Amino acid sequence: MRDRLILLPGWGLGVSPLEPLAAALRGLDEHLQVDIEPLPELDSSDLQDWLDELDERIPEDAWLGGWSLGGMLASELAARRGEHCCGLLTLASNPSFVAHEQWPSAMPGETFDAFLAGCSADPRTTLKRFSLLCAQGAQDARGLSRLLLGGAPNTSPAALMAGLELLAQIDTREALQAFRGPQLHLFGGLDGLVPAEAAGELFALLADVEVGLIEQASHAFLLEDPHGVAGAIQAFLSECGDD
């Protein structure tokens, strides 16, 4: 199924932010089947529980991709599947969302802890704040934030909390190093959630994969310029197909 790409969304905002990108990809290649798989709605923050559910839902021998948390989960699932995954692409997806000694180019722990506390107290206000951070750096940040929030599903507070707790735990560095298939990782230069420096750190970790930085772009660059992002992905897929 080298002509099938499964995309996973980020935390809290559902499948809507990926829909323009999926449509743009289908427009570039009529033979490419692009599907968006919603994230599991689990009360558990155990990574294996999330991967088990995704593994059951998503067909093998497809390309895996995702935005933010979705890209982190796609990375882990690609490593789990090995040769049964055609390749991996991530969008604004940091190997570790929260900074630690071995990976400083991420969100400071105290900032994330405040997010976690906010989500526990008032999930809707936290989601609104999150959408504003996703749009930070965009040309029309407020308009983009409204668009992100407007398409957000009505996820239960328990599932939102579990997703955030999962986000705090995942470190995909080992998975990315273990997965031998082709990889493309795209970052936004003005991302308010994933520092642009993460792109250079990732390239240093994985010198034989493709890492791109879109200079004037927010965390939600896939929604800012779906056709530009689709073009970069299509070029990568074509290049891999020619190998």
Residue 242: CB atoms within 10 Å: 6
Could you tell me which residues are beta bridge partners of residue 63? 5, 87
Is 68 a residue of the active site?
Answer: yes
240 vs 11, residue with greater confidence:
11
Is 122 a residue of the active site?
Answer: no
The whole-angstrom separation of Cα 16 and Cα 209 is 28
Q: Pick one of 3.30.450.30, 3.30.56.10, 3.40.50.10800, 3.40.50.1820 as the CATH number of 4-242.
A: 3.40.50.1820
CA distances from residue 177 to 76, 111, 133 in whole angstroms, order as listed: 11, 28, 29
Q: Give residue-wise pLDDT tens across range 107-120.
A: 999 999 999 999 99
Residue 62: the pLDDT is 96
Percentage of the chain with pLDDT > 90? Answer: 96
Catalytic one among 68, 75, 93, 218?
68
Catalytic one among 75, 131, 145, 191?
191
User: Cβ(101)–Cβ(109) under 8 Å?
Assistant: no
Catalytic one among 145, 171, 185, 219?
219
Residue 207: the pLDDT is 79
Is 219 a residue of the active site?
Answer: yes
Q: Give residue-wise pLDDT tens across range 155-211.
A: 999 999 999 999 999 999 999 999 999 999 999 999 999 999 999 999 999 978 999
Query: Residue 209's closest CA among 187, 231, 193, 191?
Result: 187
